[in-house]
Structure 1
Amino acid sequence: MYASTSSCKTVHDLMTMPDALRSLSPRSSVTDIDWPPVLTRDAASLFALLTELDRTPSLNDDEFAAAQGRQLQALARHASQQSGYFLERLKRSGLNADDLCHPDSLRALPVMTRQEVQANGATLACAQVPESHGPVHETGTSGSLGQPVIVKRTGITQLFWNAFTVREHRWQQRDLSARFAAIRADLPSEGARVDDWGAPLNLLYRTGPAFALASNRPIDDQIAWLDSIEPRYLLTYPTNLSELLDRWETRGHGLDGLAQIRTIGETVTDALRERVHAVLGVPIADTYSSQEFGTIAIQAASDELYHVMAENYIVEVLDDAGEPCAEGQTGRVIVTDLHNYAMPLVRYETGDYAQPGAPGRGPRGLPTLRRIMGRKRNMIVIDGTRRWPSLNAHRYREVAPIEQYQIVQTTPETIEVRLVCAPLTRAQEHELGDIILEALEHPFRLTFAYYAQRIPLGRTGKFEEFMSLVA
């Protein structure tokens, strides 16, 4: 018996329905093959890796550490044969490649700084890379205080980056059929619409449309653009988000239909999370990443911890003496990439500061970070020591309608206060200065600079509310 036309239509309707179950099933790579999906090439590799990553919670602690150790040793053996500078690091430490056989064994190898990578990049890079690791490419970081770093990466490192990107979408349980908007640097200033959320997600899933706008557009233009497209998810920088919140608060309502905000590139404070919840009633999902490594840690919908992507990285948080930090203690972030066979970044000091989570593995079978604090340049220098500054920023509008601010330590004893507002009177400058100095707890000499619209962004398109130029 053949199915009737009406019954065939019903089946087709069910197949194309954008329900939650279907959005989590991979799309077929082969034209006109819908079920079961047939995955090829990049999609097949990505799905296979995601399937393996799903096994992480089933490993016990010994199995997990042993797996990391095996991959660390394999990397060390390759790097000792192909990277002159890595071999030199081993010899200086009295080690050979096989000594790096467990995550704890890394402690015997001194930390590698950004300056070392800059000075020794040519000999740190591997002379040969296995062909199976895919093409080698270079990526550059802007670097703090003008210290760019060039890093070589491979197709395999990109595969892991892609897998962790998809994992983050899964863990956040997003509705992939919804509208997604991004406001960040290097996007079209006039705005753009594309049919899906882009790579790597579109390799595996059908999604709704995505919209893009440059973050240097005036905030009022951004508000109007967001109102016109009504996205369910918005990705942007924390400082840009703060300005959007100012406008939404002023007009008395936020963005209709918004379910979540994704933040990138800058530090997310507890105050910003609370403000977003108060104004918009939605959560923030943050990602910790870098150009050198890709996605290092992600958050899940179930908690606010940063879960380290430890299948690809060994992440240490160390104090000034080089010892592991206790839970909640702020320290330097040191990262080892287990799969970069083009340039061995082993115990590389990122320049970031963070607080580790509880010892061991967290609720998703991975080590955790409690908080990403920022970079060294976001710490103030007082009497030769660095500390995280308090700015009392919530009180600035008690003095004047300040639209934007930036506090910059230009010398050990001088602070420049950059403001977007009408120039303050001498009395207002003194009043604002008292608020700032009370928070900083040091008698800095203050200077004031005024901007008509927005304070210029940094070289990477990011904005920092506090920055120290003191080495």
Structure 2
Amino acid sequence: MQDNKNSIDSKLKEVGTQCKKWVFDLKTKLLDRKIYQKHLENEHLLVSMDAAALSKYNFEKRKDLVAHALKHSDFYKDKYASLQSTTTNLKTEEDFAKLPILTREDLRENFGSITAADVRKKDCHKMSTSGSTGPAISVFHDKRFPMAPTQWRLLQWWGIRPYVNKAFIYRYPRPLFTKILNTLLWWPTKRIFLAGTEMDEEHMRKFVNAINKTRPLVLQGYTDVVYDFALFLLDQEIRIQAPKAVWVTSGPLTKQQRSIMQKAFCAPVYDQYGSTEVLYVAAECRQQNGLHILHDMVYVECVDEYNRPVPQNTSGKILLTDLNNYAFPLIRYDIGDYGQLLSGACACGMPLPLMDNVKGRQSAVIKTPSGTPLNVAYLTTLFDDFPEKIRAYQFLQEEDYSVRLCYIPFKDKKVDGLISKVIDEMVNETDAEIKISSKQVKSMTKVSGKVPMVICAIE
């Protein structure tokens, strides 16, 4: 009897999956054929080129973007006015590297003039940053280059079809109208949501029940709130129906966080780098040997404090050029993050270049009187070897340069010795220039809904 029931359940599941595929094909191939065709073109492009051909393709797209910006954006006309035409015509990579950096201040002060004059309003989608790392900025995304094909690509890397059930943990609740629209748009696929601002026990238990009922193959969300949900599951000793992949984005993913998430979800955790300004920059494949830069869509540079290129495997400031945003050109944009490009190729065989997991914001540093800071690449690794002891930590720096390490240990874990060891190491790193103390706390300090690694009172 049990074997018959299992056989029936298996057949019903197979029919349900096939139904979802039929509806997805109907929507994408007939009702929204342009998006589906773009997906096919993108994937054919990748399999048809090796790394050298892809680099050449990337450079040609940069040339086209710069020419477009010079013609249609008043901001770039002014910004590049003093450059020689041989530079703006981009004959070589050296020419591109001579183009001035685009800063966050440029975006804040010149939103209207950066926007391309030939773009139609219906082709623009405005998005704004949260303001957690400084005054908020806004950009337009170009709706003529839809994001869905990129999402399908990443899911394909992880062995997942785009029409499977999904669970999302985002920072803010979605309006009722959006929820209804999403339900209708994705039927018969089911999507369930949890808001980071509503992560009390009641809401999280409802989300657990929804996960076990709908059995999503993907759990997707912001790194910090997905991590908080993972901690809840472990604290409450709750097991959920394991997804096939956990997709985290919009925040640095530490080794400690990955370890905790994989323990809670019993699934691999994949890091995807993106931001409000450029949604999709790079992502891990199943090999997890770094993040594959989406080189057919974006160009990534790493430079030093003087904006000179740094060698591969060397940390630097990240500059982004969005090759598909013609509505609001972002060319050599200093996004404010800290990372490094990697040498070598991935065993998966894709021609896409690699970058390391982004360690955090350039501003996330502990300052010293001598001017030699402790940067975020160092701070995020302090507890990597002790994922089962420290569940969260943060640094608060006062105007007199003194620093307090605020931490939350896991239940019943003795960490006094570990904390003392870390503080001694930091004192040595700063040549004892600053006073460093510690305090066990119940919660981290948030800024605009996020928990910064460093909150500094020094201007």
Shorter-normalised TM range: 0.7 to 0.9
1:48 is the counterpart of 2:37: yes
Which whole-Å CA distance do the structure 2 matches of 1:156 and 1:449 have between them? Answer: 51
Deviation string, structure 1 residues 189-232 (Cα, Å, up to 9, x no partner):
99x98797887xx4xxx663111122133453354224312244
In 1, Cα distance between the equivalents of 2:274 and 2:423? Answer: 33
Shifted more, 76-85 versus 407-416: the winner is: 407-416
Matched, 1:385 2:375: no
Asked if residue 227 in structure 1 is aligned to residue 208 in structure 2, the reply is yes
2:24 matches 1:39: no
Alignment CA distance shift 1:272-1:298 (3 Å): same
Letter in 2 for 1:51: L
Matches within 5 A, 1:359-370: 363-370=349-356
The residue that corresponds to 2:26 in the other structure is 28
Structure 1, 312-321 or 389-398: larger mean CA deviation:
389-398
3-state SS of paired residue (2:356): strand
**Which is worse superposed, 140-149 or 385-394?**
385-394
Please say which of residues 80-89 and 214-223 is displaced more in the overlay.
214-223
Residue 305 to residue 396, structure 1, CA distance change in 2 (3 Å): closer
Cα separation, 1, equivalents of 2:440 and 2:175 = 25
Quick one: which of 130, 134, 158 aligns to 1:142? 130
- Over 3 Å counting, the alpha-carbon distance change for 1:166 and 1:411 in structure 2 is farther
Identity of aligned residues (%): 17
Q: Report what 1:299 is aligned to.
A: 284
Q: CA deviation at 1:63?
A: 3.2
Report what 1:112 is aligned to. Answer: 102
* TM-score, length-scaled by structure 1: 0.77
For residues 406 and 380 of structure 1, the distance between their equivalents in structure 2, rounded to whole angstroms, comes to 11
For residue 273 of structure 1, give the secondary structure of its aligned residue in structure 2: helix
Q: Is 50-59 or 135-144 further displaced after alignment?
A: 135-144
Matched, 1:156 2:141: no
Decide whether the 8 Å contact of 2:171 with 2:225 is kept in 1. Answer: no
* Partner Cα distance (1:446, 1:98) in 2: 49
1:132-176 Cα distance to aligned partner (Å, 9 max, x none) = x9522332223464222222332224x1x2321221122222255
| Corresponding position of 1:182 | 168
Which of 170, 192, 195 in structure 2 is aligned with 1:214?
A: 195
Residue 127 of structure 1: aligned partner: 117
* 1:331 maps to 2:331: no
- SS of 1:71's partner is helix
Deviation at 1:333, TM superposition (A): 0.8
Measured after TM superposition, the shift of residue 46 of structure 1 is: 1.2
Match of 1:5 in 2: none
> For 2:305, which of 310, 320, 344 is the aligned residue?
320
| 1:378 counterpart SS class | coil
CA 1:418–1:62 in 2, change beyond 3 Å: closer, same or farther?
closer
C-alpha separation in 1, matches of 2:271 and 2:183: 18
**Correspondences of 1:382-421 after superposition (within 5 Å):** 382=368, 383-386=370-373, 387-388=375-376, 389-390=378-379, 392-393=382-383, 405-411=393-399, 413-418=401-406
Match of 1:77 among 54, 64, 67: 67
Aligned mates of 2:125, 2:154 — CA distance in 1: 24
Partner of 1:32: none
Q: What is the aligned counterpart of 1:240 among 217, 220, 225?
A: 225
Q: How many residues align?
A: 430
Deviation at 1:351, TM superposition (A): 0.4
State the Cα RMSD in Å.
Answer: 3.9
The separation in 1 between residues aligned to 2:13 and 2:197, in whole angstroms, is 41
Give the residue type in structure 2 aligned to 1:408: L
CA-CA distance at 1:364 after TM superposition: 1.6
| 1:378 positional shift | 2.2
Structure 1 residue 271 and structure 2 residue 256: aligned? Answer: yes
What are the ranges of 5 or more consecutive residues in structure 1 without an aligned counterpart?
1-12, 30-36, 422-427
Change (3 A) 1:325 1:143: farther
Corresponding residue SS for 1:290: coil
- Give the whole-Å Cα distance in 1 for the aligned partners of 2:239 and 2:230: 8
CA 1:255–1:467 in 2, change beyond 3 Å: closer, same or farther?
Answer: farther
**Residue identity in the other structure for 2:195:** A
Distance 2:272 2:188 in 1: 21
Residue 236 of structure 1 aligns to a residue whose secondary structure is: strand
Assess, with a 3 A threshold, how the Cα gap between structure 1 residues 96 and 123 changes in structure 2: closer, same or farther.
farther
Distance 1:252 1:48, change over 3 A: same
Q: Contact between 1:295 and 1:309, CA under 8 Å: does it hold in 2? A: yes
One-letter amino acid of the structure 2 residue matched with residue 39 of structure 1:
L
Which shows bigger deviation, 242-251 or 54-63? 242-251
AA in 1 matched with 2:447: G
> Residue deviations 1:360-395, cap 9 Å, x none?
798322122122111112232233133234375589
Distance 2:281 2:416 in 1: 43
The reply on whether 1:172 has 2:158 as its aligned counterpart is: yes
State the Cα distance separating 1:28 from its structure 2 match: 0.9
Match of residue 348 from structure 1: 333
Equivalent residues of 1:416, 1:448 under 8 A apart: yes
Partner secondary structure for residue 117 of structure 2: coil
Query: Which range moves more in the overlay, 164-173 or 223-232?
Result: 223-232
The residue type paired with residue 156 of structure 2 is: R
| TM-superposed deviation, 1:120 | 3.1
Q: 2: CA distance between counterparts of 1:273 and 1:375?
A: 19
Structure 2 regions of 5+ residues with no counterpart?
1-10
Shift of 1:266: 1.3
**Partners of 1:368 and 1:155 in 2: CA distance:** 27
Q: Secondary structure at the match of 1:91?
A: coil
TM-score (structure 2 length as normaliser): 0.79
